[in-house]
Structure 1
Amino acid sequence: MTDLPFGFSSPGDDDRGKDDDKRGGDDARRKDQGGNDAGSQNPFGFATGAGGFDPSAFDPSSFDPAALGQMFSQLGSMLSGMGAGMTSGSGAGPVNYQVATNLARQQIGKFTPVLDKENQAVADAVRLAEVWLDEATTFPSGVSRSTAWTPVQWLEESMPTWKRLCDPVATQLSRTWEQNLPAEAAQFAGPMMGMLTQMSGMAFGTQLGQGLGQLAKEVLTSTDIGIPLAPEGVAVLLPEAIASFADGLEQPAQEIVVFLAAREAAHVRLFTHVGWLRQRLLSTVEEYARGITIDFSGITEATANIDPQELFSNPSKLEELIGSSASFEPTTTPEQKAALARLETLLALVEGWVEQVVFAALSDRIPSTAALTETMRRRRASGGPAEQTFATLVGMELRPRKVREASALWRQLLEAGDITTRDGVWAHPDLMPDADDLDNPAAFIDRVIGGGASTFDDPIAQLEETLAAERAAEEPDEGRSGDKPRDTDED
C-alpha cells in the first residue's frame, strides 16, 4: 500500500533526499565485507555478522602466518565501524556505547529524512486520536508535542533509556566475572584482565548496536516496546517503518496511521499520569540484574587443559574460548524469576490496557480497528521487536500469552464496574494485579468491586483510615490510665 494519508510518503519517494550515504552505511560495501543484517550473539562473544571474525576462515590443525594475517585483517574489518569507540572515554563502562551507536548507525544504513508534511501528518493524526481517547479513559491527554522521527533519531533519543536498562545487567555480569573466576583461570588471565574487561564492554556494545540497529528500522512508535523511549509528553511516529508496515496490510492506510497514533497517545497518557510506572519498570530490571550469578564450571572445564602455545598456533581456539556462551551462561535464581515475572506482568498490563482503551475509542469510528488490534497481537506473539530486544539485550523475554490475558482482565473489570474503577487500579503499584490475577481475573475483580471504587481512588486515604482505626483501638487503654474519656460517637 503506497498511497499513505496525512502527507506520509512511501519509502521509495525521490523527494526524500539524496545525501543519505553521508549519514548511512552503504549496503553493498557492507555485503562485500561479509556483513549480515544480524548475527547470533552472546554477551561475551564476537559477532560473526557485520564484517565480524569468521573462525571458519582458519585451519584449526596448524599455524599459518598467512592465516594469522587474515585474522587481523578480518578483525580490523569488524572494528572499522567502531572507530572512535575504541579510543574515546565512552568505552570505559560495562558497555561500550560508542561502539553500540556506531554499529547501530551502520546497520540502519540508508534512511529517508522526515518531511515537513509528515511532521504535520503525525500532529493531525495524534490530535484526532486524542479527541476520541478522551471518551475511553479518565486519564487526560499527556501529549505536549507530536513529531515524526527517522530511525537514526529514534536511536539517538532512545539511547539514554537503553543505558539504564543495559548497564545494571552488564555491570553485574562483569563484576561476577572478576570476583568468581576460578583461581587457575584468574592466574592464567591475570595479565590480560584489563583487556578482557574492555573486550567484554565491546562485546556488549556490539550486541546492543546490532540489536538497536535492527529495531530502529522496525519500531512504529516511541512506545512500541512497551517502555517510553521519547522525552516525557512527546508522541512519536516513524513514517518510514509505518509505510513498510502498511504496505503488507489490506486496511486503508489512513486508518492505520490514526490507529497507531491512538496507541502512542494512549501510552503517553498512561506514563504521564501514572507517576510510578516508568521508574517501576526500570527498577525491576535493576532488581533482576542484582541477582545475576554465573556458573563457572564450564570455564573451569574449558581452561583446565589449555596449552597457551595452542592459542598462538590455533587462532580459532581463542575465538572458541571467548565465544563459548555455554561456559558463561548466567544462572537464574528464584529472586530473578520473581523479578522477571513482575516485569512481564507489568508490561502485559500496560499493553492490555492500551489495547482496550484504543479499541473502545476507535471501534465505532474506524472499521479496521478489530483487524489492526489482532495484527498487533500477532506481531508481538510472533517474536516482534519487543520480545527480541528484551531477550537479546537485557536477558528478559516477554510472554505474549499474558498480553491477551491482561487485555481480558481490563475488559472484564470495565464490564463489572466502570472506567473510573478500571483506571483507578493504576493509582498505586500495590493495587495492581499480579500474574496469578491474570490467570484468575474473576477473583481480582471481586476484590476491586467488593472493596468499592473509593479504595482505588485514593490509596493514601485508605492508609489514613487504617491508622485511624489503630489509634481508636488504643483509646480504651488511654482512658484507664486517667485520661478523660473521649466521645467516640461519630453520629
Structure 2
Amino acid sequence: MSDLPFGFGVPDRDPERRGESGSGAGNDPFGLGALFGGGGGAGAGTPEELLAKMPLFAELQKLMNWSGGPVNWDLARQGAISSLAAGSQPTSDAERTAVADALRLADLWLDQATELPSGVERPLAWSRVEWVEQTLPAWSSLIDPLAERVVAAMTSALPAEAAAMAGPLGGLMGRMGGVLFGAQVGQALGRLSGEVLTSTEVGLPLAPAGAGVLLPQNVAEFAAGLDRPLDEVRLFLALREAASQRLFAHVPWLRQQLHDAVHAYARGITVDREAIERGVTEAMGSMGGIDPTDPEKIQELLGSGLLEPEETPEQQMALRRLETLLALVEGWIDAVVAAAAGERLPGHGALAETMRRRRASGGPAEQTFATLVGLQLRPRRLRDAATVWGAMAQRYGSAERDRLWSHPDLLPTSDDLDEPLDFVARQGADDELRALTADDAQDRDERRDDPEGGAQS
C-alpha cells in the first residue's frame, strides 16, 4: 500500500496553480480555509456542506457513505484498476482474432474427447482492466459472505472496554471495515489480474455464462518464460478454458456446490474471545491505545494477527470438500485436454506439468483468498483426481467417465482419492450389479406379460 492510503493525495500539485491567490491552495492543500470562512466566502453553509467542499473530506465522505455490503466494491474496483494504470494493455484486433481462433479449434478437438458439448458461446480476449471489471460480480458473491462473517465475529468478540470506546460509532466502524476490506480486495485483485491466464484458472467460474476468455497480455508473458511457441501455449490454454466451460455449462449443480463450500467455510468463522481480550489489552498498551475513529490504529490491529479467526472442525470439513471438488474439476480438465491434444500438440506434456505445478502450489487464487480471509483454494489431490478420470476413460470410455458428473453423490470423495484405482474398480462392480438388476427386472416383465409361460416354467 502507498504511503497515502486508499489513493488519497494532495489534490493540487500544479506549481502554477499552487502559486495562485497567495494564501490559497498552495498554503491550504486540503481546503481547510473553508472551515474558517476563507477562500472567497466559501465558509458559508452547513457543516456537511463545508466538509464536502474539502477535497480530502469529500473523498472520505464518499467512502464512508458506502452501504452496499461488507466490502466497499467501488473502492476495490478503483484500487485494482489504479494499480494497473501503467501495466494493463488494451487488446488488439489481432489478439482478439487469435483468441477466437484458438477457442474454436480447441472446441473441435474437445468434441472427440468428451460427451459434454461446447460451453463457449462468446470467445473473448480481455485486458487486465476488463478482467477486473467483468469478474467483480463473481468475486462479490464469493467474498461478501466471508467478509460479513469476519466482521461480525470480530465485533462480537471485542472486549467490553473496546466496545465501550466505540459506543455510538458502531455503524461508522462497520463502514470503516468495508473500506479496509475494499482496499485489501482491490490490492489482491490488482495483483491477480496481472497473473491469471483465463477466466476459469482459479478453479471457480468468474466470467459471465457462455464466455470463454483468455488474457493475451498475460498469456504472452507466461509464454515468454517457456520454451514453447506463443501459438502453442495459447492453444493449450484455450483447450483448458474450453474444457472448463463445458463442465460448468453442462453440470448445473457444480457452480453452486463450489459456492456452497465457500459459504459453509464462512458460516464457521469464529474467534477466541478470551485470546482477543488478552491481545487487545496488550495492543492497547503497545499501540498507545486504540481509537475506534482512527483507521490507522484499526488497520494496525487487524494486521497484527490478534483478530484472525480460528479454523473450526466445521470449516476444516468445508475446506476439505472444497479442495476435493477443485481437484476433481482440475483433474478432469487435465484428462480431457490430454485426450484432445494427444499428439497434435507437441509441447502438451511439458505445458501440462507446468500448469499442474502452478495449481498444486496454490497459484494466484490461493494467495488472494489467503490474504483476504485465510481461505485457501488449493486442489491438493490433483494427481489423485487426474488418475481417477484417466483410469475411468481407459477402462470404461469417456461417456462413463463423464457420467459421474450427472450427480454429486457419484463423484469420488476425499477418502476415495486415497485409493483412486479402487474407486475405479468399484465402478465396474456397480455396473455389473446394475446389469444384473436390469436383467432381473426384464425377466419379471416378461413373466408378467406371458403368465402361461411363467407358469410352465
Which interval holds the TM-score relative to the shorter structure? 0.7 to 0.9
State the match for 2:208 in structure 1. Answer: 231
Q: For the residues of structure 2 that align with 1:84 and 1:455, how far apart are their CA atoms?
A: 66
Partner residue of 1:274 out of 235, 251, 256: 251
1:346 deviates by 0.3
Distance 1:364 1:262 in 2: 14
Asked whether the 8 Å contact 1:226–1:351 carries over to 2, the reply is: yes
Selected match of 1:370 from 308, 326, 349: 349
Q: CA–CA distance in 2 between the matches of 1:293 and 1:311? A: 22
Taking the aligned partners of 2:316 and 2:295, their CA distance within structure 1 comes to 36
Instruction: State the 1:245 CA deviation.
Output: 0.6
Q: What SS does the aligned partner of 1:421 have? A: helix
Residue 129 (1) aligns with residue 139 (2) = no
1:192-237: CA deviation from partner (whole Å, max 9, x where unpaired): 3222212211111111111100111111111110111111111111
CA distance, structure 2, for counterparts of residue 285 and residue 447 of structure 1: 30
Contact 1:219 1:238 in 2 (8 A): yes
CA–CA separation in structure 2 for the residues paired with 1:213 and 1:273: 31
Post-superposition CA distance 1:263-296 (Å, at most 9, x none): 1000000000000001111111111111110112
Preserved CA contact (<8 Å) 2:78 2:186: yes
Report the residue type matching 1:115 in the other structure. Answer: S
Partner of 2:116: 139
CA distance in 2, matches of 1:178, 1:310: 17
Of residues 376, 400, 409, the one that matches 1:421 is 400
Please say if 1:107 is aligned against 2:83: yes
Superimposed CA distance per residue, residues 136-185 of structure 1 (whole angstroms, 9 cap, x where no aligned partner):
11101111110100111111111001011111111112222333333333
In 2, the alpha carbon distance for the partners of 1:181 and 1:154 equals: 38
Report the Cα offset of residue 309 of structure 1: 7.5
Distance 2:161 2:249 in 1: 52
Alignment-mate amino acid for residue 291 of structure 1: G
> How far apart are the structure 1 equivalents of 2:432 and 2:140?
39
- Mark the CA change 1:147 to 1:240 in structure 2 (over 3 Å): closer, same or farther: same
Given that 2:63 and 2:179 are in contact with CA atoms closer than 8 Å, whether structure 1 keeps it comes out as no
Q: Is residue 298 from structure 1 mapped to residue 284 from structure 2 by the alignment?
A: no
State the 4+ residue runs in structure 1 displaced beyond 3 angstroms. 82-92, 302-312, 315-321, 398-401, 453-456
Distance 1:438 1:248 in 2: 33
Match of 1:151 among 113, 128, 135: 128
Partners of 1:126 and 1:265 within 8 A in 2: yes
Aligned-partner Cα distance in 2 for 1:303–1:271:
45
Structure 2 residue aligned with 1:341: 320
Q: Structure 2: 5+ residue runs without aligned partners?
A: 10-54, 445-450
Cα pair distance change 1:454/1:234, threshold 3 Å: farther
Give the aligned partner of residue 371 of structure 2: 392
Corresponding position: 1:408 with 2:387:
yes
Cα deviation, residue 88, structure 1: 7.1
In 2: Cα distance, 1:172 partner to 1:385 partner: 23
In structure 2, distance between residues paired with 1:148 and 1:317: 40
1:203 matched to 2:175? The reply is no
Asked if 1:166 corresponds to 2:166, the answer is no
Among candidates 431, 440, 448, match of residue 410 of structure 2: 431
Pairwise CA distance, 1:400: 4.5
Distance 2:177 2:371 in 1: 16
User: For 1:162 and 1:221, how far apart are their aligned partners in 2?
Assistant: 15
Deviations 1:8-63 (A, max 9, x none): xxxxxxxxxxxxxxxxxxxxxx9xx658xxxxxxxxxx89xx889xxxxxxxxxxx
Task: Give the distance between the partners of 1:276 and 1:265, measured in 2 at CA.
Answer: 18
Indicate if the aligned counterparts of 1:295 and 1:329 stay in contact, CA closer than 8 A: no
Equivalence for 1:97? 73
Query: d(CA) in 2 for partners of 1:338 and 1:159?
Result: 27
Give the structure-1-normalised TM-score.
Answer: 0.73
- The structure with the largest alpha-carbon Rg is 2
2:260 equivalent to 1:287? no
CA contact (8 A) 2:324 2:379 kept: no
Query: Secondary structure at 1:426's aligned position in 2?
Result: helix
**1:89: Cα distance to partner?**
5.0
Q: Does 1:188 align with 2:171?
A: no
**Unaligned residue ranges in structure 1 (runs of 5+):** 1-29, 36-45, 53-78, 457-461, 473-485
Amino acid at match of 2:348: T
2:64 & 2:305 partners in 1: Cα distance? 32
Tell me by how many angstroms 1:255 deviates: 0.9
Query: With structure 2 as the length reference, what TM-score do the two structures score?
Result: 0.78
Query: For 2:127 and 2:347, how far apart are their aligned partners in 1?
Result: 27
1:109 counterpart SS class? coil
Q: Of the two structures, which has the highest relative contact order with CA contacts closer than 8 Å and spacing of 6 or more?
A: 1
| SS of 2:227 mapped into structure 1 | coil
Mapping 1:51-90, distance limit 5 Å: 83=59, 86-87=62-63, 90=66
Cα distance in structure 2, aligned partners of 1:432 and 1:257: 31
